[in-house]
């Protein structure tokens, strides 16, 4: 059914897997940076905690409420930035932004499950859902630098 | 109603390979050919500024612009066109009341009473006024079914209450509030009542003299008119004593170096070149609605809502918010489906050609009360049909299956 094929571009099974079984869900205790962000037009909200030491993202956890795209994107983002240098994390945010705009993006990093979100670029109304967690991460990393 | 549908060109198209089903009229309604023609004809034949030209086009534009005001007066049965002020929309109308009447009459310790079901546009102006003045902002509690009882109204309004601001029909719950009764209670306490009629004016008859409301606000674009035009109705005596909050051309009587005087009502509140085409379009929309009849529109919507609620109830995991009695609600249904976030639902429906709203509907405090961050909303108008409802229900089944079974 063509209808479902179109949807499948957006909702890949790996996305639904992250939505139903989010990785790094929760909140970091102790010495961490906290970022709360929401998408005022739709009510999605993310609470992100980052533990950064010696220029490296050591740990990341998120909490929040939102659709499958926003929550799976948050889950994937926390996975991919863990262990990265702060500059690398920011570079990844840029790469993700390019991906969402449907532009060519650098293959410098192994994006892992994040690649599954590529289809979101074809759904303009949903791009903001996908970028929320990345914007929060960018903000947190910039605060630390 | 099939003949009516044909008069809305935008409905005759396919979206994502399916005939469009437009169920987002509570956000903005579609426009019939009569309104589109009125706007086009104004620009093609009469375009000119109002109230200044000595020339023929200026006179024609002014006649049409003021003619539309008379149509609006009649539409809500106001006493005089002096009581009909053109604004940009409901938001501007309500901010004007808060800024001009509210600032003048609300003092420290006074109370402003609103409800949990207010749209942000009938909440934030009062919240900010209360903050500025040190006044107390109070809320009418809601019953479980999303209605307000008159007992609650009586016990919440006190002799300290200066303003009661409430929606006539909720854009989320669909609840129709008993404005006439609330107005009486407010008046007995010495307060004025401000009515947000954004969701009511398009869908049900309004008689401001019968309701005895002091102010009433609505938007053109939700009632088949253009965007950027709306109305503030106010009782003449109240408007007379209010100072304008926008100054400039069009609203002045005499301007001196160190002081100025204002035009008479309603123009003292209409600074700057107004939305002339918008006003004329709104006039045409009112002709269109009046010809069909607001009672008939309300009846049609009630029957669609009743049918839709019955069909949606058959889908397991669907929760509908607001009163169950279709007669107690306007033509919209806000709902959620277990396991499908409203944004995801809206995308699935869109892929099936069905337009619904998803989100917090500019009513965050109400979302908190409903204990959800977002909901989906299907809203109906006179051009919607039972077939549209069937398509919606089919879409809901597809979405539920897709999210709960495919993954």
Q: Give the pLDDT confidence score for residue A58 in this predicted structure.
A: 96
**Residues B9-28: what's their mean pLDDT?**
97
Confidence band of B249 (pLDDT split at 50, 70, 90): confident
What pLDDT, on the 0 to 100 scale, is given for residue A1? 41
- Mean pLDDT value of segment B22-45: 98
How many interchain CB pairs under 8 A, A with B? 59
* d(C-alpha B315, C-alpha B317), whole Å: 6
Span(s) in chain B for CATH 3.90.1150.10: 2-24+294-406
Sheet holding B230-234, edge to edge: B84-87, B230-234, B215-219, B192-196, B161-167, B111-115, B136-140
Q: B100-112 pLDDT, tens per residue?
A: 999 999 999 999 9
Mutant choice from A1, A3, A116 vs B, greatest count of B C-beta within 10 A: A3
- CB atoms closer than 10 angstroms to residue B407: 15
Encode pLDDT of B272-292 as tens digits.
999 999 999 999 999 999 999
Min Cα separation A101/chain B (Å): 18
Residue with tokens 């579609």: B30
Whether B359 and A69 lie within 8 Å, measured CB to CB: no
Q: CB of A38 within 8 Å of any CB in chain B? A: no
What's the whole-number average pLDDT of chain B? 96
What's the mean pLDDT in B90-109? 98
Fold category of B35-291 in CATH: 3.40.640
pTM metric for this prediction = 0.93
Cα B135 to chain centroid distance, Å, stands at 27
- Pick from A17, A43, A68: CB nearest B344: A68
Strands B21-22 and B354-355: parallel
Residue B91 token pair: 């938001």
In the predicted model, what is the mean pLDDT of residues B21-35?
98
Q: Is the ipTM of this complex over 0.90?
A: no
* pLDDT tier, B402 (very low <50, low <70, confident <90, very high otherwise): confident
Q: In this complex, is the C-beta atom of A20 within 8 Å of any C-beta atom belonging to chain B?
A: yes
Cα gap B388→B33, rounded to integer Å: 21
| Three-state secondary-structure class, residue B245 | coil
Who has greater pLDDT, B283 or B327? B283
The CATH architecture assigned to B2-24+294-406 reads Alpha-Beta Complex (3.90)
Distance in Å, alpha carbon of A85 to nearest chain B alpha carbon = 34
Give per-residue pLDDT as tens, B166-191: 999 999 999 999 999 999 999 999 99
* Interchain CB distance below 8 Å, A68 and B341: yes
**What confidence score (pLDDT) does residue B89 get?**
98
pLDDT on residue A2: 45
**Closest CA relative to residue B97, chosen from B46, B47, B162:** B162
Q: Which of A125, A133, A141 is nearest to A45 (CA)?
A: A133
Q: Which residues of B touch chain A, with CB atoms under 8 Å apart?
A: 16-17, 341-344, 347-348, 350-352, 358-360, 364, 367, 373-374, 398, 402-403, 406-407
| Residues of each domain in chain B carrying CATH 3.40.640.10 | 35-291
A130 forms beta bridges with none
Task: Indicate the angle between helix axes B276-292 and B33-41, nearest 10 degrees.
Answer: 150
Q: CA of A47: how far to CAs of A60, B218, B373, in Å?
A: 11, 37, 15
pLDDT score at B297: 97
What tens-digit pLDDT sequence spans chain A (145 residues)? Answer: 445 677 887 888 899 999 999 999 999 998 899 999 998 877 789 999 999 999 999 999 999 999 999 999 999 999 999 999 999 999 999 999 999 999 999 999 999 999 999 999 988 889 999 999 999 999 999 998 8
Average pLDDT over residues B82-110: 98
Once rounded to an integer, what is the mean pLDDT over residues B243-264? 92
Contact B24, B171 (CB under 8 A): no
């Amino acid at each position: 059914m063509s209808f479902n094929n179109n949807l499948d571009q957006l909702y890949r099974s790996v996305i639904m897997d992250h939505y139903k079984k989010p990785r790094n869900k929760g909140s970091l205790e102790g010495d961490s940076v906290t970022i709360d962000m929401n998408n005022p037009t739709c009510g999605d909200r993310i609470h992100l905690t980052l533990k950064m030491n010696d220029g490296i993202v050591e740990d990341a956890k998120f909490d929040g409420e939102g659709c499958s795209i926003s929550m799976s994107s948050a889950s994937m983002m926390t996975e991919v930035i863990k262990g990265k240098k702060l500059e690398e994390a920011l570079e990844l945010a840029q790469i993700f932004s390019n991906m969402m705009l449907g532009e060519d993006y650098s293959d410098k990093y192994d994006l892992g499950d994040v690649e599954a979100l590529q289809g979101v670029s074809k759904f303009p109304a949903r791009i903001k859902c996908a970028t929320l967690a990345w914007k929060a991460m960018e903000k947190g990393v910039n605060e630390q630098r | 109603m099939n003949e009516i549908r044909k008069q809305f060109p935008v409905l005759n198209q396919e979206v994502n390979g399916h005939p469009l089903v437009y169920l987002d009229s509570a956000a903005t309604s579609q426009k019939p050919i009569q309104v589109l023609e009125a706007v086009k004809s104004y620009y093609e034949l009469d375009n000119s500024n109002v109230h200044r030209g000595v020339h023929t086009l200026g006179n024609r534009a002014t006649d049409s612009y003021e003619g539309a005001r008379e149509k609006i007066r009649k539409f809500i049965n106001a006493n005089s066109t002096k009581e009909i002020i053109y604004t940009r929309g409901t938001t501007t109308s309500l901010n004007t009341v808060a800024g001009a009447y509210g600032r003048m009459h609300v003092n420290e310790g006074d109370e402003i009473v609103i409800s949990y079901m207010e749209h942000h546009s009938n909440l934030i102006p009062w919240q900010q006024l209360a903050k500025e003045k040190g006044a107390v902002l109070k809320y009418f509690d809601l019953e479980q079914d999303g209605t307000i009882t008159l007992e609650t109204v009586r016990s919440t309004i006190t002799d300290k209450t200066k303003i009661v601001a409430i929606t006539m029909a909720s854009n989320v719950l669909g609840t129709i509030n008993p404005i006439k009764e609330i107005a009486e209670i407010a008046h007995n306490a010495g307060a004025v009542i401000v009515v947000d009629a954004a969701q009511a004016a398009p869908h049900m008859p309004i008689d401001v003299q019968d309701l005895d409301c002091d102010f009433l606000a609505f938007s053109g674009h939700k009632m088949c008119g253009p965007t950027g035009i709306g109305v503030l109705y106010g009782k003449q005596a109240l408007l007379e004593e209010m100072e304008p909050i926008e100054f400039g051309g069009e609203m002045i009587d005499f301007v001196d170096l160190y002081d100025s005087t204002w035009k008479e009502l309603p123009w003292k509140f209409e600074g700057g070149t107004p939305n002339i085409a918008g006003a004329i379009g709104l006039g045409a929309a009112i002709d269109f609605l009046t010809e069909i009849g607001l009672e008939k529109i309300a009846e049609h919507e009630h029957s669609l809502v009743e049918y839709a609620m019955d069909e949606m109830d058959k889908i397991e995991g669907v929760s509908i918010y607001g009163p169950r009695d279709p007669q107690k609600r306007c033509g919209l249904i806000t709902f959620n489906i277990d396991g499908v976030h409203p944004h995801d639902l809206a995308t699935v429906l869109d892929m099936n050609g069905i337009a619904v709203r998803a989100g917090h509907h500019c009513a965050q405090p109400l979302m908190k009360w409903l204990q959800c961050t977002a909901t989906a909303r299907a809203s109906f108008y006179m051009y919607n049909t039972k077939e549209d409802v069937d398509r919606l229900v089919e879409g809901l089944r597809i979405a539920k299956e897709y999210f709960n079974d495919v993954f």
